[in-house]
Structure 1
């Protein structure tokens, strides 16, 4: 038997209250469902955005792959084309009466080979231009580069100097074989961090000028031995004193002092002529010689004077 207890006054609910409570409960359920759908839609949009980003990345990687594959195939095809041209040439040599179609195919192979060579040379020139015209190789397992700077004078190659740069964080010089009297530290302070090409260009000027000054002294000692004597020179060859003799019964000795205040040049900035004969440096002949020494390498001027009999 069910025990029916009378409801208290505060527990009584009118039909309107019951209806209101049901509506609010239903609205609450709808609100929760709407919130769940909104979150699901937002998550779906995020996933779609991520998928789009990944698709773009895949396209970029695919394009890079195709580019690298084309470069690899270009290099490979150059070798293959050389082999094919060689084989075709052997066939043509064996069969001198080859048909027109075979001749056309051979011409096409030659044309393809030339185009592949042109593309390869173009890539090499572009890379050479990007690194400023210097030979650069990887060093320290990719953490540095080694730059080679060749020196030359009057069309003849001389020494090659190497400079290893650490580029892991900031650019700095780790090793080198640059002569100690070249102002490498000052040049590095001026441009190494801000303009690498300017730094290498200035360093190259210093090295080539030094090599040029030293080569002139070496040529004077070799070619003009017995006529011109190198009385004094230093390690940097920015101060050179030469002694020659003017022809005559007395055989007047003449000292030519070459001063190089600009270390990026192989020509002197100042030439001083001295002699026991105090009037000799002021003569028009030696004034002209002095001007020539300022404009022309010393060994060339002295060789010309010896040929003309103006020094012995």
Structure 2
């Protein structure tokens, strides 16, 4: 950014020098212009216009330099060497904060919205990946990436059953850190959502027994009970797509038969595939398919 500012200053000074040259060139033609009244009038207007442009550019350079000074003091939490009572200084301070905020927002956008801090004497970047489900903030995970030489993962707090190294290779983290973070965030949010759904099943549906689940929450086996015959049903949910929080396959079995294709249970199976499991169970209980 400092390089860009330096380049901008050079361009402004070049314009000023060029305007000065044009002004001198106009004066050198003054004698000839006197012999041509209409031309003299045009040249005079042109000179005045160039002077105004020069004055405006000088003012812009002064503002730019003041902003750079103020931004440096804001970054260091120091007071700038300007009068606090001056309206000009207040405006400059406001403009400095605005440009500072724009830079922060730009960096935030380039990083995909991930919070990042420098670690290990600026040799590594530590990214925070928060997870949420249905408006509730859940766990936050951290990944530290060494960027000094070869880009690599130095440490992380991601659960071991999510293969971080495999994701890094698949997304070509060497050249696309944001792509890797997006993929990892997708997996983490899906995992947190499945885990939260399992928690809600246990909290909201006391009559439903969780017979089996794994650490990744990619497999869920529930024991359901019908209200009339009090028949026990085995409901299996397979979340083979680990980037999603909904199952890819659902089966419902009675004591001896598979009920998944029966007219009575087809709607429930579709509901379990298209709706979070705790909400699907609530709907099935309201329709008196389970207790």
Q: Kindly tell me: are residues 274 and 62 of structure 1, through their superposed partners in 2, closer, same or farther at Cα, counting changes over 3 Å?
A: closer
Match of 1:278 in 2: 257
Give a deviation string over 1:119-165, Cα, whole Å, max 9, x none: 45433321210112100000001111101101111111100001111
Contact 1:187 1:203 in 2 (8 A): yes
Match of 2:146 in 1: 166
Within 1, Cα distance between the matches of 2:223 and 2:279?
A: 15
Within 2, Cα distance between the matches of 1:115 and 1:62?
A: 17
Report the Cα offset of residue 305 of structure 1: 1.7
Q: Kindly tell me: are residues 199 and 252 of structure 1, through their superposed partners in 2, closer, same or farther at Cα, counting changes over 3 Å?
A: same
Match of 1:150 in 2: 130
Unaligned ranges ≥5, structure 2: 11-63
Q: Which of 277, 288, 291 lines up with 1:298 in the alignment? A: 277
Q: Kindly tell me: are residues 75 and 146 of structure 1, through their superposed partners in 2, closer, same or farther at Cα, counting changes over 3 Å?
A: closer
Q: How does 1:81-230 map to 2 (within 5 A)?
A: 118-190=98-170, 191-225=172-206, 227-230=207-210
SS in 1 for 2:251: strand
* Count of aligned residue pairs for this structure pair: 229
Q: Kindly tell me: are residues 279 and 131 of structure 1, through their superposed partners in 2, closer, same or farther at Cα, counting changes over 3 Å?
A: closer
Within 2, Cα distance between the matches of 1:148 and 1:68?
A: 30
Name which one, 1 or 2, has greater alpha-carbon Rg: 1
Contact 1:147 1:163 in 2 (8 A): yes
SS in 1 for 2:160: coil
Report the Cα offset of residue 279 of structure 1: 6.8
Match of 2:245 in 1: 266
Within 2, Cα distance between the matches of 1:194 and 1:279?
A: 49
Within 2, Cα distance between the matches of 1:176 and 1:152?
A: 19
Give a deviation string over 1:41-72, Cα, whole Å, max 9, x none: xxxxxxxxxxxxxxxx9x94995994642423
Q: Kindly tell me: are residues 229 and 110 of structure 1, through their superposed partners in 2, closer, same or farther at Cα, counting changes over 3 Å?
A: farther
Q: Kindly tell me: are residues 111 and 70 of structure 1, through their superposed partners in 2, closer, same or farther at Cα, counting changes over 3 Å?
A: closer
Within 1, Cα distance between the matches of 2:91 and 2:6?
A: 33
Q: Which moved more, 1:270-279 or 1:118-127?
A: 118-127
Q: Kindly tell me: are residues 76 and 143 of structure 1, through their superposed partners in 2, closer, same or farther at Cα, counting changes over 3 Å?
A: closer
Contact 2:151 2:173 in 1 (8 A): yes
Question: Going by fraction, where is helix more abundant, 1 or 2?
Answer: 1
Counterpart check, 1:256 vs 2:247: no
Q: Kindly tell me: are residues 243 and 76 of structure 1, through their superposed partners in 2, closer, same or farther at Cα, counting changes over 3 Å?
A: same
Report the Cα offset of residue 302 of structure 1: 0.5
Contact 1:252 1:277 in 2 (8 A): no
Counterpart check, 1:240 vs 2:224: no
Within 2, Cα distance between the matches of 1:268 and 1:251?
A: 26
SS in 1 for 2:245: coil
TM-score (norm 2): 0.69
Q: CA RMSD in A?
A: 3.3
Counterpart check, 1:71 vs 2:50: no
Match of 1:44 in 2: none
Contact 2:190 2:242 in 1 (8 A): yes
